[in-house]
Chains A and B, each alone.
Chain A
Amino acid sequence: MKDGLSDTVAGAALVGFALVLWFYLIPTFVTEVEFQAEMSPRFFPRLGAILIFGSGLVLFLRSLRTVRSAVADGETGERVARPLSAMLVALAMSGFIILFQQVGYAAAAPFLLVAMTVLFGGRHPVAVAAVAIVTTAVLYALFNYALNLPLS
């Protein structure tokens, strides 16, 4: 995605987010309380929404000009090379959190470590197994015994 176009999308998304905040999230999830001269709990979220709307709108309008003149404005983002790998890493981490909650650390940690080792290029079965077993054991000992933070 070219910078100008990505800024257009980002600007539009920010404007959209600000509108959702103003018309849905703030009225639904921030309770209005009127108490003497006290400022409303909605004041600061609304201020944030205005700032997001304003900056999103400026970004959107500036990017339109940039797209027209085909000159990139602002920094170049880090290009999407292999978004699938990032998705797989996220999936492995999500799997860890679910397993951690359902069956505990001892099952979740080796799963995550094996998945991540393979995703980051580890191919030798012994190396993959060693990373999984050693890291699981060392972190278990560290958190449970040295730091007294039980990993349930």
Chain B
Amino acid sequence: MMRRKEARAGFLFALPWLFGLLAFMFYPLLMSLYYSFCDYSALRSPVWIGTDNYAELFHDEVFWTCVKNTLFYACFSLPLGMAMAIGLAMLLNTNVKGMTVYRTIFFIPSLVPMVSLAMLWLWILNGDYGVLNNALATFGIKGPNWLSDIAWTKPALILMSVWGVGNSMLIYLASLQDVPTSLLEASELDGASAWQKTRNVTLPMISPVIQFNMVMGIIGSLQVFAIPFVMFPAGIPARSTYFYAMYLYDNAFVYSRMGYASAMGWILFIVILLLTLIALKLSNKHVHYGGV
């Protein structure tokens, strides 16, 4: 009787989310699967066309350009970002004076609204008056045209993403602070060098967090949208910065090809699932669930 009453209360408390889960998660997910097999524009109701959307995507040059751009971006921004975040966290974990000040400085870029960041970087990377190229010039380096040279637009975005790793840096820092000092002291007594301590004690101890950040990083970087959307409308120049989510958005709301966009959405979803599973599988043997 007591249990029954409790269960009813629990169910009632969870009700808003149960509704949210159905209405804003499962229903859209299923509907987008259905739309992906339909010809569907904002003006007409969906008409079943089988796998036509998928077949068309397969031959869509722009689609493949976006896929390549997105993979290129993810392949560089993810490892570079992870290295930067772990490096910063390790530097901060050395008990230096002023740690909180440094921590704040490194974290600030990831707080700032995306559109503001885009505006700021448009100005810094500006081809004619950009301060970055001027600064490089004082060292005798001729900076590239970050915003208009197709070889440099993606590197510019990758550079910006590395600058915004504050969130994962904080997660690493928290887990580094949980590494038992006794372990580090013990290895020091055994004559381990700083590198050996990092390689054999610290990194294995924080490996679950590295794995977590890697998975979140894969999911996030494949969906990159706001900054390139604002900085490089329609992926200018020459679609060099046209990313997957941007083309999906354009199909849905500019060309009003909602079925086509839904097919893109499902492909993205499946790719993310597969990549996550592969990443987990490959990294699992290196992940160590210790006493933390």
A and B physically associate: no
